[in-house]
Structure 1
């Protein structure tokens, strides 16, 4: 296990400061000697350990540093090197935790008066030594505090990275769901319409050639619409403003036929409404009409669209055979489930009611 300090520059910087202070003291004292050379060499060795710390076990590194700090202090005649001992709890905090760091810091603070007692009799009455002891204890406290702040900052950064990864994953999932809804609501509708029209053309090819040709034309229109919507989805820039009323009118015109009559009633003003909400209502209408064509056997469908200051409402009611809501038909399918999710994201809701006399879907979105 190796040390992984968030602030690796503290130790070498402090060693360089001690080295500069010791060299300056030697020059001022005019006493450069082998002792001073050893002092400088040990400090450079400490800086080398900081460079190689990732390759040395943490316990070995801490013991080696402590031994070198003691040796440096033994060779130091200026007394500045005792500040190196604050690095013991500072470095230990990152590897062994707060409790060990506090124990080591307290031990270092307690060791200094013992050293003073051995080397300087009567130091308790000398202000400079008492001041040194107080400043050393304060340095220990600040070193531990700095280590704690650095560890918490690193933990916060790790948590932030994890949160960002989770957000990225959720965004990707949300985008996949959005694309799935778009594909289902757009291409799914048009493919269903194409299938219905081609079945009609096949059935009436001999009995009603003009009607069969109209069905083929409607199928071709649905294919063109599907292609256009795919192009618009891929190339959204420069797209013309979306008009829900026009889109519904065009859709109804191509779904109306001999067996199915669809009408649209619009109240209120559409201009200036959010495109996202209007698109959601259009997709809901597509899904509802697709289900009606495939399952209901209805002959009449009525769409009611109403705009107001707070939102818009769309009701799709048919006179088909309906279904049993308790069996979950239509509720668990991807189409209506996707419709519910899309509307819910816009602060709206979807209600579904069905009887043997027909089915009614009510959708509300808010601005």
Structure 2
């Protein structure tokens, strides 16, 4: 895995350019006789420094390579300081902790800053033993110290910003993955709850038509027609799902949707009652209740052998309550099939809960409760 590039790469190049310009200017204007050899060597040192930066920028180095490049920089900084009579090149050493911060961290950067400060003090002491009595040397040392502090602080800020961007990118990627997973689960629930319900109804009606084809042709014909109606309803549900994926808003009426469930029921007979004001609830809550009713009815048809099913939905200030009860064979312990799992997921997403009560020969009661929340207002 490649190491990240150093933030603010232009900062080092700007310092190089400023020091180079200052050294050349002093050699040509303020330094008396121009020493062409020193000036050429000085320019060559900076050409090599810019080459080092280009190498590092092309491919962020490993820690070992970064240590080698840092050592090369220090050597070139020392060469520039020896060739520069103005003393401006000493400012290059503030870049040592700055560059080291990104490769080795804060502790190493601070240690190298202290080493650079000690190196400058040692140089002053060797060249001018009584430098502490010279205000110019003391001022230079103070400015150099400030430069080191600012370099470490700037590196810390840039590093923190880079890490924050990296964490943000990782977070956004994770959010995108979770959003995609939630959307896949939602589509899977829609397919199971909607198409599964209608296909169950179609299968039952076609079985009925086959069973009564000889004994009661009229009843068989009605069963075939009911199967066609269920197929049309399934197609309508598919179209609604496609519209929802394209973010096309369509009004949703829970009363009408539950009424369509009852009309489409065939056998067993379904009774639907709705009390209160479902329109005070948002679309997500209403959809969760509708899908729960649909799944409860599908299970009553497919597994329970029920002769009747009641679906009641009540809405008040405390919350919404949906009860789907059948008089089928029931079961000893509720299974966690995909339908029940999808129902729980839908309801939990809107802050509600699902309870299933059943027993052998005692039928099944599915109760869904969702706390009240205002419907989304349309702009």
TM range (shorter): over 0.9
**Structure 1 residues 235 and 162: alpha-carbon distance in aligned structure 2, compared to 1, 3 A threshold:** same
Report the TM-score, using the length of structure 1 for normalisation: 0.92
Equivalent-residue separation in structure 1 for 2:4 and 2:199 (angstroms): 62
Three-state SS of the structure 1 residue aligned to 2:355 is strand
How far off its partner does 1:239 sit?
5.3
Of 330, 346, 360 in structure 2, the residue corresponding to residue 342 of structure 1 is 346
Give yes or no for contact 1:88–1:104 (8 Å, CA) kept in 2.
yes
In the other structure, the counterpart of 1:158 is 166
How far off its partner does 1:203 sit?
0.6
Give yes or no for contact 1:305–1:315 (8 Å, CA) kept in 2.
yes
Equivalent-residue separation in structure 2 for 1:234 and 1:124 (angstroms): 81
Answer yes or no: is 1:307 the counterpart of 2:315: yes
1:75-154 equivalence runs, <5 A: 75-154=83-162
Give yes or no for contact 1:11–1:47 (8 Å, CA) kept in 2.
no
The range that moved more, 42-51 or 122-131, is: 42-51
Equivalences, count: 361
In the other structure, the counterpart of 2:295 is 287
Equivalent-residue separation in structure 2 for 1:134 and 1:239 (angstroms): 68
In the other structure, the counterpart of 1:185 is 193
Give yes or no for contact 1:4–1:95 (8 Å, CA) kept in 2.
no
How far off its partner does 1:149 sit?
2.4
Of 344, 351, 358 in structure 1, the residue corresponding to residue 355 of structure 2 is 351
Q: Deviations over 1:190-221 (max 9, x none)?
A: 01110011001111111111111111111111
**Structure 1 residues 14 and 239: alpha-carbon distance in aligned structure 2, compared to 1, 3 A threshold:** closer
Gaps of 5+ in 1: none
Report the TM-score, using the length of structure 2 for normalisation: 0.90
C-alpha RMSD of the superposition: 2.0
The range that moved more, 106-115 or 261-270, is: 261-270
Equivalent-residue separation in structure 1 for 2:111 and 2:273 (angstroms): 80
In the other structure, the counterpart of 2:263 is 253
Give yes or no for contact 2:97–2:110 (8 Å, CA) kept in 1.
yes
The range that moved more, 140-149 or 54-63, is: 54-63
Answer yes or no: is 1:46 the counterpart of 2:54: no
Three-state SS of the structure 2 residue aligned to 1:323 is coil
How far off its partner does 1:262 sit?
1.5
Equivalent-residue separation in structure 1 for 2:254 and 2:138 (angstroms): 84
Equivalent-residue separation in structure 2 for 1:312 and 1:93 (angstroms): 58
Answer yes or no: is 1:270 the counterpart of 2:278: yes
Equivalent-residue separation in structure 2 for 1:95 and 1:347 (angstroms): 48
How far off its partner does 1:3 sit?
8.9
How far off its partner does 1:283 sit?
0.9
Three-state SS of the structure 1 residue aligned to 2:278 is coil
The range that moved more, 63-72 or 188-197, is: 63-72
Q: Deviations over 1:225-259 (max 9, x none)?
A: 111111111123555411111111122112144xx
How far off its partner does 1:12 sit?
1.2
How far off its partner does 1:116 sit?
1.1
Give yes or no for contact 1:2–1:58 (8 Å, CA) kept in 2.
no
Three-state SS of the structure 1 residue aligned to 2:165 is helix
1:158-237 equivalence runs, <5 A: 158-236=166-244
Give yes or no for contact 2:205–2:223 (8 Å, CA) kept in 1.
yes
Three-state SS of the structure 1 residue aligned to 2:351 is coil
Gaps of 5+ in 2: 374-379
In the other structure, the counterpart of 2:377 is none
How far off its partner does 1:60 sit?
2.6
In the other structure, the counterpart of 1:16 is 17
In the other structure, the counterpart of 1:333 is 337
Equivalent-residue separation in structure 2 for 1:142 and 1:93 (angstroms): 12
Equivalent-residue separation in structure 2 for 1:255 and 1:4 (angstroms): 65
